[in-house]
Chain A
Amino acid sequence: MRAAVVMFPGSNREGDAVRALRAAGIEAATVWHGDHELPAGTDLAVLPGGFSYGDYLRCGAIAGRSPIMDAVRAHAGRGGLVLGICNGFQILVESGLLPGVLMRNADLRFVCHMQHLRVQRADTPFTTSYREGEAIEVAIAHGEGNYTADAETLARIEGEGLVAFRYCDAAGVVKSNLSPNGSMNEIAGVYSSNFRVLGLMPHPENLIDPLVGGTDGLKLFESLAESLATA
């Protein structure tokens, strides 16, 4: 499997993303936002975390309209895999690849701590190494992660089972008002309708090594490696 990690001006987690992909046996290279094509043979496009364009205008708004995003949209249109983490999730909603929008955290605070997530389903290319309903512990670090969508969109997301992860407690229990940022329905990550595009605010790429806090994030990348090996 080959992954292309897209670097925007202001991306700062591309190294972490590349390290996590390689740890799972995925070949990873970085590409520049001004490029018009993904490298030939790209199976997975990754939009890493950071502060693209200084979060000017709206988080992810300018990056979402950069030349490489036309290539990422075309890749997604062909059924290619796309993963957006944190700022990458913001870019995916701004570029129209995922529904909804990420607003300023409800209490206005930048949140930066370890957080439990409930894995909503274990049958997607991103989650086969997890168990459905499992609580995993990963890091979050964002100021604009408050997932918001209109009532109709939210009903569609829930109806089609497109919620990937929800904020939960250590036992995996999801309670209202438990989200660290005010997200509707405690949504931490969502899929596209074909489950080939995933955006999430938390940072699984930072939890791949027991020396630095745990390995709950590695399974996401192992799932991706496996999904392509068996495809």
Chain B
Amino acid sequence: MKARITVTLKTGILDPQGKAIEGALRSLAVPGIDSVRQGKVFDIDLAATDPAEAERTLKEACEKLLANTVVENYRVELL
């Protein structure tokens, strides 16, 4: 089974990298960009075949390591 985990900064947490990218896009004259927030994507292959079990495993992976839940949110998608 394959899955994708997306980790993003919580609303209100300053994201200097996102801001820098936003500024760079503006300087490249890419039109219509209001704001940019940077995050991380993890593509994961799992042994699990049961979706509920896979979700449990991935949630554990996020809570234990992939996200720092003090400042980050995560989203799990089974592909």
Contact = CB atoms under 8 A, between A and B. Distances in A.
Contacts of A182: 14, 16
Nearest to B9: A103
Nearest to B17: A104
Contacts of A106: 14, 16
Interface string B61-79: 0001110101100000000
B78 to A, nearest CB: 22
16 contacts: A58-B68, A61-B68, A62-B65, A65-B65, A93-B70, A94-B68, A100-B70, A103-B13, A103-B14, A103-B16, A103-B71, A108-B20, A146-B14, A150-B70, A182-B14, A182-B16
Interface string B40-79: 0000000000000000000000001110101100000000
Nearest to A93: B70
A185 interface: no
A183 to B, nearest CB: 11
Contacts of A93: 70
Contacts of B17: 104, 108
A105 B16 contact: yes
A132 interface: no
A57 B16 contact: no
Interface of A: 57-58, 61-62, 65, 93-94, 100-101, 103-108, 146, 148-150, 182
A150 B13 CA distance: 9
Given A103-B14, A106-B14, A57 B65 contact: yes
Contacts of B70: 93, 100-101, 149-150
Nearest to A150: B70
Contacts of A107: 16
Contacts of B13: 103, 148
Contact of A108 (B16, B64, B68): B16
A107 B14 CA distance: 11
A182 B17 CA distance: 14
Nearest to A99: B70
Contacts of B71: 101, 103, 148
A176 to B, nearest CB: 15
A58 B42 CA distance: 14
Nearest to B66: A57
B14 A148 contact: yes
Given A58-B68, A106-B14, 16 more contacts: A61-B68, A62-B65, A93-B70, A100-B70, A101-B70, A103-B16, A103-B71, A104-B17, A105-B16, A106-B16, A107-B16, A108-B16, A108-B17, A148-B13, A148-B71, A150-B70
A167 to B, nearest CB: 17
A95 to B, nearest CB: 11
A38 to B, nearest CB: 23
A65 B60 CA distance: 14
